[in-house]
């Protein structure tokens, strides 16, 4: 297997395009079977990376991995509930067992259940939101990050939400968890540097499978205040993810990169998956 270049060293490439080449690298993408995670997995595969696709459903993981292989990539699927640390241990062992290394980790899995009122938020719902959006990424980043430090380095990318900075009444537990994820990003960048870079993408509203449940009229009204006057398309997350995964961002760590179309106000639901 071709060993990957260290993603934390000064970038060297024969061309600007070469800075984004992920050939020889291994990427793990949680939440990789739909929405932004799926687009990130596809982008990494097309850039040459071997990809481990993780989500809760085994059949969805297998289907996406097969599609990536059919497109000329190398990929495996691994069912995993990121809120359960035992599942994360298995995901790490699967990735290292299949490819011998992990160079890029993307914590994209997320959940934001609807609740009737703040007092109607159950302990079970609250714990689930924190487990998937914060506790799981913490554990997975710790497990993979320490192996990266012991090896050739790497890049960790957390997918947050503009809800972390502009929370609304309907996403309070989710927004709090994503705000914690932003803080964790900076802390892990310090803890794992200089060999491992840790950054976050903070998306605004994107049109994915989850957005089908949104009130489209309300969304249209809100997006009129955006500089780009619209919500994002799922594939538009790929550029930011490729930048942070590749040598193009060799001097970027501890950063929270907003990808929201120039939003002036937050959109209920966060829209990041």
Is 96 noted as a catalytic residue in this protein? no
Query: Is position 48 within any domain?
Result: yes
Above 80 in pLDDT, residue 222?
A: no
- How many distinct structural domains can be found in the chain? 1
Query: How many Å apart are CA 12 and CA 22, to the nearest integer?
Result: 13
Query: Is position 44 within any domain?
Result: yes
Beta 50-55 vs 74-79: how paired, if at all? Answer: parallel
Above 50 in pLDDT, residue 5?
A: no
The pLDDT confidence band at residue 245, using thresholds 50, 70 and 90, is very high
Query: Is position 266 within any domain?
Result: no
Query: How many Å apart are CA 86 and CA 221, to the nearest integer?
Result: 43
* Dihedral angle computed from the Cα positions of residues 62, 68, 74 and 76, in that order, rounded to the nearest 10 degrees: -20
Q: Which domain holds residue 66?
A: 21-259
Query: Is position 78 within any domain?
Result: yes
Above 50 in pLDDT, residue 266?
A: no
Question: What is the reported pLDDT for 13?
Answer: 56
Instruction: Catalytic residue, from 96, 115, 174, 243: name it.
Output: 174
Query: How many Å apart are CA 241 and CA 222, to the nearest integer?
Result: 26
Query: Is position 12 within any domain?
Result: no
Question: What is the reported pLDDT for 205?
Answer: 87
pLDDT digits (tens, 9 = 90+) for 11-61: 555 678 889 999 999 999 999 999 999 999 999 999 999 999 999 999 999
Question: What is the reported pLDDT for 12?
Answer: 52
pLDDT digits (tens, 9 = 90+) for 178-221: 999 999 999 999 999 999 999 999 999 888 766 555 566 777 77
Question: What is the reported pLDDT for 269?
Answer: 46
Question: What is the reported pLDDT for 225?
Answer: 85
Question: What is the reported pLDDT for 90?
Answer: 98
Query: How many Å apart are CA 127 and CA 134, to the nearest integer?
Result: 10
Query: Is position 16 within any domain?
Result: no
Above 50 in pLDDT, residue 91?
A: yes
Beta 104-107 vs 154-159: how paired, if at all? Answer: parallel
Question: What is the reported pLDDT for 190?
Answer: 98
How high is the mean pLDDT of the chain?
Answer: 90
CATH, residue 118: 3.40.50.720
Measured at the CA of 218, the angle between CA 165 and CA 210, to 5 degrees, comes to: 70
Half-sphere exposure of 125 (CA within 13 A, CB side): 15
Taking residues 215-230, report their average pLDDT: 79
Query: Is position 185 within any domain?
Result: yes
């Amino acid at each position: 297997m071709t060993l990957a270049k260290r993603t934390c060293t000064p970038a060297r490439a024969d061309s600007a395009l070469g800075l984004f080449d992920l050939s020889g690298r291994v990427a793990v993408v949680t939440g990789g079977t739909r929405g932004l995670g799926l687009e990130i997995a596809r982008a990494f595969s097309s850039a040459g990376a071997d990809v481990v696709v993780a989500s809760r459903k085994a059949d969805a993981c297998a289907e996406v991995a097969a599609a990536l292989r059919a497109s000329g990539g190398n990929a495996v699927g691994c069912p995993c509930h990121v809120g359960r640390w035992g599942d994360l241990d298995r995901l790490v062992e699967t990735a290292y067992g299949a490819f011998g290394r992990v160079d890029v980790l993307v914590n994209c899995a997320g959940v934001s259940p609807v609740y009737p009122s703040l007092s109607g938020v159950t302990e079970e719902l609250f714990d689930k939101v924190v487990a998937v959006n914060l506790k799981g990424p913490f554990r997975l980043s710790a497990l993979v990050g320490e192996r990266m430090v012991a090896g050739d380095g790497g890049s960790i990318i957390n997918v947050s939400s503009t809800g972390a900075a502009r929370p609304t009444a309907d996403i309070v537990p989710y927004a709090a968890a994503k705000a914690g994820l932003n803080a964790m990003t900076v802390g892990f960048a310090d803890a794992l540097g200089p060999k491992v870079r840790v950054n976050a993408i903070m998306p605004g509203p994107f049109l994915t499978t989850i957005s089908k449940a949104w009130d489209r009229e309300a969304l249209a009204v809100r997006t009129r205040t955006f500089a780009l006057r619209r919500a994002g398309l799922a594939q538009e997350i790929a550029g930011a993810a490729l930048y942070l995964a590749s040598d193009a961002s060799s001097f970027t760590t501890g950063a929270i990169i907003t990808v929201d179309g120039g939003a002036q106000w937050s959109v209920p639901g966060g829209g990041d998956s």
